[in-house]
Structure 1
Amino acid sequence: MNQPMEYREVWMWWGRLWLVVWWLVMTVLIASYTGNLVAVLTVPVYPSKLETVQDLAAAEIRVSMLDYGSTVPTYLRTTPNPTLAALGSKLDLVPITNYASLYDEAVLMVHPGFRHALIVFGDYIDFLRQKYKVTRTTYVMKEKIYWSYLSWFLPRHTPYTPLISDALTRLVEVGVIEKLYRKHMGIIFNADTQVRGNGVLNLGHLQGAFILLVLGLVSGGLCLLGGETTTTFRGNQHYHINSSIPDHLSKLNNIGWW
């Protein structure tokens, strides 16, 4: 921006217009980039996410699970896998005290001040995050500790059980169940999207600045057009007044007053 350019040296109207646009663009770019750079450097650093089971086992946080008689705690404590055994050694079972609010205490332990990770079966954890309104402050680890399977329970000796099982298996294989699942859970998945951690500067961060630039150029162009129109009108009026002076002087000279 500190360019050795004297705007009075540019006499062409298109040259001045180009200089105005150039200076405005440079001002917006420098101000927006500097502002975004300062914002990125001053934003507090978020802790890194735990993505794998090994990360969870190595982290200095405990693991909690509701004590409803599952075999998972026993499996974690007796497994020969060192990673899963590390999870079992720091697993806390939350007792069930009120069936009307099963996960109140367990979700409270996930608060950043308590430093706990909650183990929940399947997609029920998404329902819990929506119910307790913690989608902005919690996240789901990508790697699963164990996989749960979707199943249909039928009464014993149900007729046509093999046909029903075969039809359901085909629906799963062709992706119909997956599509229905995504459609049903789409609201939860879309509401859970959030950018966390350090951001990266890109053109999206300059969108507001360029919108202001366009508005400034439009208003500046209107002001320039109005100024040129006013200057032209005043110049023409001044020319007519000056051109009429010799006629008056000649008349006065003929009368004898000059």
Structure 2
Amino acid sequence: MKPSGHRDLAKMLAEFKNGSSGSRSRRDLTFTYDQAAAKFAMATPVITPSWLSFYYPLSGQVWIGVLASTLTVCFTLVKITRRKTWQMRHGVLSTGSVVLESVGTLLGQGLYGRLSTSQSNHILVGTWLFFGVVVGTAYRASLIASLTLPRLPPRPETVEELVKVIDRVTIESFDGSYKKFFLNSESSAFRELGSMMVGGDVMDGLNTVLKMKSAHIGAPLNLQLIISRNFAKLDGTSPLYLGKEKLLQVSLAWGVPHDAPYTPQIDKCLRIISQAGLYEQWKKETMEAAARESRMKQREEIKQQGQDGAEHSQTNFRSLSIIHVQGPLLLLLVGITLGSVAFVVERLLVSEPHPSHTPGPTRQISD
């Protein structure tokens, strides 16, 4: 195209964008070949240590049921072992021993046999053992998944949730048209979002998201491509994510001169490409290629760092950390503390019996 053609094209695009009255009669749009939307990108919430890691495998209702069943069985066994006829046949068994053995069987410990010596509680103890096996097996299986795949904190997915947790939003300015659109919206959440908007580049906006309470708004495909190329890790995870809600959704079409003779041919080609699903296939191939290039680049960097760096990158995300086992450790610490306090109180309140002084046998000395 000649330089004059470049100037005519630039002039036509400027008129098409500004929407002047004279340009409306000289422009047209082709077949709508795709839908574009705007989404926000935010930093993925970091998994924080939680002492409830051992609580998550079972729901609250299940924990209440297990606790109620344990108390009921312990209370029933204590009542049975307190009967005089039972104590005369099997001996005295303290309340603590009954509770310890009942809870121990629930946790998978062996049964000493003193609770099942009577015919009156064979059925109760057998049912309790079956209950302990089922609940214990289900808990241990779910605990493995809970420790290796800890629960992620909640993250904003809608505009209403977004405006509550951020201080600013970056977006490519586009002459401030997006900011004006949000400020003039009837939605209070959109108006609040527009008041926090500032212009900025995509890379600068995404880097700012990782440093402060901020979000960046842009085209989803472009954001995914940049995140996959520049922020994705070797295992495929990323410190950034895209919200589910679509802030804007517009149709995409080519701008052509009004009544151009080649518009029907362009519409036919665009319709065939769209109906064949080629746009979606091209998007998928583009994302896969970007992810592949990112992984290859990271592997090259690891090779340059040496074998130690490679081993560290491969094993770092597999090992359990304090985030996973903080709950059991805190539970153990509480148990040790309570046991130490009970031991000190027992030593202070209960004095040890002193052995009575008994004279030894006298020796008779003969002359």
The two structures have a TM-score, normalised by structure 1, of 0.49
- Structure (1/2) with the larger strand percentage: 2
* Greater relative CO (CA pairs within 8 A, separation 6+): 2
The two structures have a TM-score, normalised by structure 2, of 0.36
